[in-house]
Every structure is written in structure tokens, then in C-alpha cells.
A and B are shown apart, each in its own frame.
Chain A
Amino acid sequence: MTDRIETHLGTTEEGQMAQEQANTSTTASDVAATSAEDSDAVRTSGGDPDDLNPVIIELENVNVYYDDFHAVSDVSLPIREREITAFIGPSGCGKSTVLRCLNRMNDLIESARVEGGVNYHGVDLYGPNIDPVEVRRRIGMVFQKPNPFPKSIYDNVAFGPKIAGYKGNMDDLVEQSLDRAALWDEVKDKLDESAYALSGGQQQRLCIARAIATSPDVVLMDEPASALDPIATLRIEELMYELKAEYTIIIVTHNMQQAGRVSDRTAFFSVDIQDDGERTGRLVEFSETATLFTTPEKQETEDYITGRFG
């Protein structure tokens, strides 16, 4: 299991190239992607910009407020299709807040207000007439603490498709989703048992199966392994790497090694503390993971990844 991940790290460049060549379809967002990515491409010198995966979500000057409190300031970054993008940074830097902007989970907090553009396939998710329910069916989410429903394993996976009015064979879909989440073999004989009978790591994989059962485009993961032991963590990381073939994954993590192991690109957030004690998060640096961890552009990033701060 570890071998595979290490191999992956060693061959990031090649793997990406292969994937990029495989992905030749051109959509409207490609155009936006390449133009928006020009400056970044120069900096990371990652070859021809045309070879990059298309941008699926583009954040433009995103600001988040809770009432008068300015939680996140001016975040702009592109998320590319079929890549794993990691958000790292110290506590309170707003990385989870930014993640929750991407599927409008912040709507659940009444005082939260999002300014700026979150463009998904070029459509502003905060535009008028956008139904957060539709957004969340396309942009799924896995949470920090495993949160299966107090229902059977089967019903957990079938929940999303059922409410979306899925017409196909539910049994097949449940099997397929559990299989993709690398859980099928462990639970195939106890689908009717409560999800709470599973271990923490299994529960989190069940939550991943539940999230991908609705066939989303993008899966957001908010510190998905922080409540798990190291073995379960590796399991989840390996799973993320496998899921990358089909899904765009954005992961928030406290664990820099984890970001280094699994992600293609990393965004480093930091927090400014004002005189009145207000803490505002901001994006410090965003580039390919290998670059960010070896030759970061900003001193602040280097201080953080070398453990001098945070």
C-alpha cells in the first residue's frame, strides 16, 4: 500500500502527462482554464500550458464573512479536473471555509456571506437562480468525522441516489460504489447491518462510497483522515489516489506529509491576526505540490513546511 503511494510520488510528472494526453476532450471551461493559468504555468515551469488538465472550478477573489468578521480574504485559484488539490495551513486559516464555499455548505451557517466568484464550469455558483441542492449533487463532500447515517450500510449508500430519483438498479449501484471505495469485500455480507457497527476507517470509506454513489464531478474532503489511525489513513489516501482517475478531489488537511503524498497541487493558506484580534485567512502560495514542498516561492511557506511556524 505504501509502495504504491511512494511510486506515485516518484512518477507524478509522468503520470500526469499520461493522464493529460488521455484527456483530450475540450469544453468551454478549457478556454478559461488556459488563459487563467498562464501566470501560474510560467512560475511552475511545468511544460506547455495546453497539456494541463482543464480547470473545473475557478475561485476569483473569494471573500467570506461571518456577520462583520472577515474570515477569508481574496482567494483566487484554479482547481483542475481529475487532480487532487490540497489545502494546507495552520488552524483558523480558512481552508475549510474555502472548501465549504465550493458546494455552498456555508449556506447552512446563517451569518456566512460569500463574495467574489466561484465558477464551476464557468457558472458562478453564487449567482442568482443557483440551487444549492443541484450544486451539492455535483460537488459531493466527505467530512472530518465519519458521519454515516444511523441506518444500514446499504441505505447509507442508497440515500443520495434515492433522493435524486435514481431509476437504475440500486443493488448494482450500491455494490459499485462500495467497490470503488474499497469497502465492498469487507461489508458485502452485512449490508443490512448498521453502519455504526463498522470501524472508524470503514465508516469513512462508507462515507466516501455514499458521496460517489451520486456520481458527482468533484469530491470535497474536509480532513477526511484526521480522526483515523495511521493504517486507516493510508487506506483513505490510497483510495483518493485511485478515485482521481474519475473524480476531481479537493482535500483539506492538517497533515503536510499527507498533502505531499497524495496531492498534485497544494494551496498554502495562512492567517493574519489584526490588532483587534480578528483572524483573517488568506492564500499565500499555490503551485504544484512538488514545487511547493521543495522550492517554495514565499518565505512564509518555507517557514511553515519546515516547521518553523504553525
Chain B
Amino acid sequence: MTTQPITAQELAGDPKRRRKETRVKAVFMVAGFTSIAISIAIIVSLAGEAWNFISQVELSALWTLGWFPRRGLYDIPTLVIATTIISIIAMIVAIPLGLGAAAYLAEYATPRARKWLKPTIEVLAGIPSVVLGFWALTFISPEIVQRIFTSSKPFTMLAAGLGVGVLITPLVATVSEDAMRAVPLSLREASYGLGANKATTVRKVVFPAAISGIVASLILALSRAIGETMIVFMAAGAVGGAIRTWNPLEPGQTMTAAIASLATGSDQVAGEGLAFQSLFFVGLLLFLLTLALNSISNRVVRKYRETY
């Protein structure tokens, strides 16, 4: 049996095909780098105006009674505190509800119950936040907050926080549930085989093994809570400006709502000279906050992850 000698040209392949390969690669590369370019563009545009603001503003105006940009009072802590309060309230709602729902869906629910429950939760995740904002204003505030705290105002950070909590609960539930379902059945079998009951298996085996996904869901939810605008804008009041307070039963303005309330309704931002620039500064702060949150969570997840 003799083999035909092969020339290098025969193995070189079709140049047309190779060119096509290169083109496809280029298209995907452009898609990948576009998102990076957009991120850089955002930072640059934020940083420029933010620098204008911080270099021109009187530093004493950054630490005053409250956030009243139209009057030249830019108390940043007011916004940060309100954002913190509303995010904490939202997480207090979303962590138990979301993780509980996730554990039920992943471990306890019969396939039949799961079949209608999971889509329902996903529908809840799809409700526009403006609808939830309206609901927070017309239901949560009068029916829950004002019934418990009879003397509270119609616009409170508490009502807004509860509304944001409802908004992010489905996010926690679905992402955590996916993480828990991804834990291999063999680990559950090992646990049951050792005489563990369901509750122990969920707490000691499934939860630790899914922790990176669960923490990811919480960080995602927290980022969403910090970034949420509409519910806070509608239900927390204080649209014209806010006094610095830690009391959740007072109206308040978050960083997002502060930007929205100034940069809306006209082609010009009304108010004193630097009001326009101040928004960029707040925006940059918001950006840095979520960035920090993401990198912290990455580190936490890497430390506590149980890889299977």
C-alpha cells in the first residue's frame, strides 16, 4: 500500500475561509470592546463635570443642613444616608423573603408547585418600578407604614425602602434558587445518607455549597437597590430637597432621586450655578460605590466559596 505524497499547498487550506474566520473574530472583538469603551466614556464625562463642581464649589456647602442644590447647599451626606437607609430596609425585606423563596423552590416545592410559582416570581421581577413606586405610595404608605406609625407622614423613606425591597426580592429569589439547584444531587444524597433531615441538608450542605451564587444575588440586589430611582422618587418625597436625617419615618432623597429630581422636566437644570455640575459629582459617587461593592463581594465570595 503506497501513500500519495502531500504538498504543503494542499494542507494550507482555503484562503477565503481563513479570511472569513478573521472577519468573524473582528466582529466579536468589536462587540466586546464597545462595552469597555462605553464604560470609559461614562467615567470620563462624569469625571470632567464632577471635577468642575468640586473645584468651584465652596467646600463648606458640601457639609450643611441638607441637600438643597437650588439654594447652593450640596450636603452630600444627606444623599448617602438616605441611600443607605433605603437600601438597608430593602435588604431587610429581600434577604429573608428572597432566600426563603429560593430554598422553598429549590428544595421543598413539588415539581407541580414549582411549575407555577417560579414563573409567578419572575413576573413580579418584570413589574416596572414606576408601578411599584405608585403602589408604595398608595398602598404601602397608607396601609402599612401609617397604620403602624400613626403619626408618620405620607412620604417616608420607610415606605420607599419597603417598595424597593419588594422590587429586589424576586432577583434574590431567582438567582439564589439557580445557585442552590446547581449544587449536585450527590452532595444531597451524601447528607441524607448520613441521616440528615431536609432542614439540616439545606443549612449545612446546600447553602454553603451555593454561597457564592447566593452572595452574588445579594450584591446584585443591593446594587439594584442603590441604583433604584423611580420608587424612591415617588414614595420618599423630598423632591425639592432634603434635610439630613437618619430617621426612616422622614422624607428623604437618595443619590439617584436627587439626580432625577433636578435633571427632569425641562431642557435645563434649574437652580443655582453649580446645580448642574453637582449631579455629575453625585453620579460619579454612585458609580464608585457600586464598583466598590462589586470588588468587595468578589473577595468575599472567593474567601468563603465551597467549590464542588
Q: Looking at the complex, which one of B110, B186, B195, B197 makes contact with A143 (CB distance below 8 Å)?
A: B186
Give chain A residues whose Cβ lies under 8 Å from the Cβ of B204. 159, 163
Stretch at the interface among A9-17, A102-110, A119-127, A290-298: A102-110
User: Does residue B306 face the partner (Cβ distance < 8 Å to A)?
Assistant: yes
Chain B positions 188-246 with a Cβ under 8 Å from a chain A Cβ: 188-197, 200, 204-205, 208-209
Alpha-carbon distance A132/B197, docked complex (angstroms): 9
The answer to whether B306 touches A151, judged by C-beta atoms less than 8 angstroms apart, is yes
Alpha-carbon distance A132/B192, docked complex (angstroms): 9
Alpha-carbon distance A207/B190, docked complex (angstroms): 9
The answer to whether A211 touches B205, judged by C-beta atoms less than 8 angstroms apart, is no
User: Does residue B266 face the partner (Cβ distance < 8 Å to A)?
Assistant: no
The answer to whether B193 touches A140, judged by C-beta atoms less than 8 angstroms apart, is yes
Per-residue CB proximity of A225-257 to B under 8 Å, as 1/0?
000000000000000000000000000000000
Give chain B residues whose Cβ lies under 8 Å from the Cβ of A160. 194-196
B227 → chain A, closest Cβ, in Å?
Answer: 33
User: Does residue B308 face the partner (Cβ distance < 8 Å to A)?
Assistant: yes
Alpha-carbon distance A167/B110, docked complex (angstroms): 36
Give chain A residues whose Cβ lies under 8 Å from the Cβ of B197. 133
Give chain B residues whose Cβ lies under 8 Å from the Cβ of A163. 194-196, 200, 204
User: Does residue B187 face the partner (Cβ distance < 8 Å to A)?
Assistant: yes
Q: Which residue of B lies closest to A134 (CB)?
A: B195
The answer to whether B196 touches A211, judged by C-beta atoms less than 8 angstroms apart, is no
Alpha-carbon distance A31/B61, docked complex (angstroms): 93
User: Does residue B307 face the partner (Cβ distance < 8 Å to A)?
Assistant: yes
Give chain B residues whose Cβ lies under 8 Å from the Cβ of A151. 208, 306
Q: Looking at the complex, which one of B187, B190, B193 makes contact with A103 (CB distance below 8 Å)?
A: B193
Known A-B contacts A143-B189, A147-B186, A147-B189; the reply to A159 vs B194 at CB < 8 A is yes
A125 → chain B, closest Cβ, in Å?
Answer: 14
A208 → chain B, closest Cβ, in Å?
Answer: 12
The interface residues of chain B, by DSSP majority, are classed as helix
The answer to whether A110 touches B193, judged by C-beta atoms less than 8 angstroms apart, is no
Q: By CB atoms of chain A within 10 A, which of B110, B192, B195, B205 has the most?
A: B195
Q: Which residue of B lies closest to A142 (CB)?
A: B193
Per-residue CB proximity of A147-167 to B under 8 Å, as 1/0?
111110000000110011000
Give chain B residues whose Cβ lies under 8 Å from the Cβ of A194. 307
Q: Looking at the complex, which one of A110, A196, A210 makes contact with B194 (CB distance below 8 Å)?
A: A210
User: Does residue A141 face the partner (Cβ distance < 8 Å to B)?
Assistant: yes
The answer to whether A149 touches B205, judged by C-beta atoms less than 8 angstroms apart, is yes
User: Does residue A279 face the partner (Cβ distance < 8 Å to B)?
Assistant: no
Q: Which residue of A lies closest to B205 (CB)?
A: A149
Q: Which residue of A lies closest to B198 (CB)?
A: A133
A31 → chain B, closest Cβ, in Å?
Answer: 28
Q: Which residue of B lies closest to A132 (CB)?
A: B192
The answer to whether B192 touches A108, judged by C-beta atoms less than 8 angstroms apart, is yes
Give chain A residues whose Cβ lies under 8 Å from the Cβ of B184. 147
Give chain B residues whose Cβ lies under 8 Å from the Cβ of A141. 189, 193
The answer to whether B194 touches A136, judged by C-beta atoms less than 8 angstroms apart, is yes
Q: Looking at the complex, which one of B110, B193, B200 makes contact with A211 (CB distance below 8 Å)?
A: B193
Per-residue CB proximity of B265-306 to A under 8 Å, as 1/0?
000000000000000000000000000000000000000001
Known A-B contacts A150-B307, A196-B307; the reply to A211 vs B186 at CB < 8 A is no
Q: Which residue of A lies closest to B194 (CB)?
A: A160
Q: Which residue of A lies closest to B189 (CB)?
A: A143
Alpha-carbon distance A103/B191, docked complex (angstroms): 13
Alpha-carbon distance A140/B189, docked complex (angstroms): 11
Give chain A residues whose Cβ lies under 8 Å from the Cβ of B191. 149, 159
Instruction: Give me the interface of B with A, judged by CB distance under 8 Å.
Output: 110-111, 184, 186-197, 200, 204-205, 208-209, 306-308
Instruction: Give me the interface of A with B, judged by CB distance under 8 Å.
Output: 103, 105, 108, 110, 132-134, 136-137, 140-141, 143, 145, 147-151, 159-160, 163-164, 194, 196, 207, 210-211, 214
Q: Which 8 A-B pairs have the closest CB atoms?
A: A137-B195, A150-B306, A141-B193, A160-B194, A147-B186, A136-B195, A150-B308, A147-B190
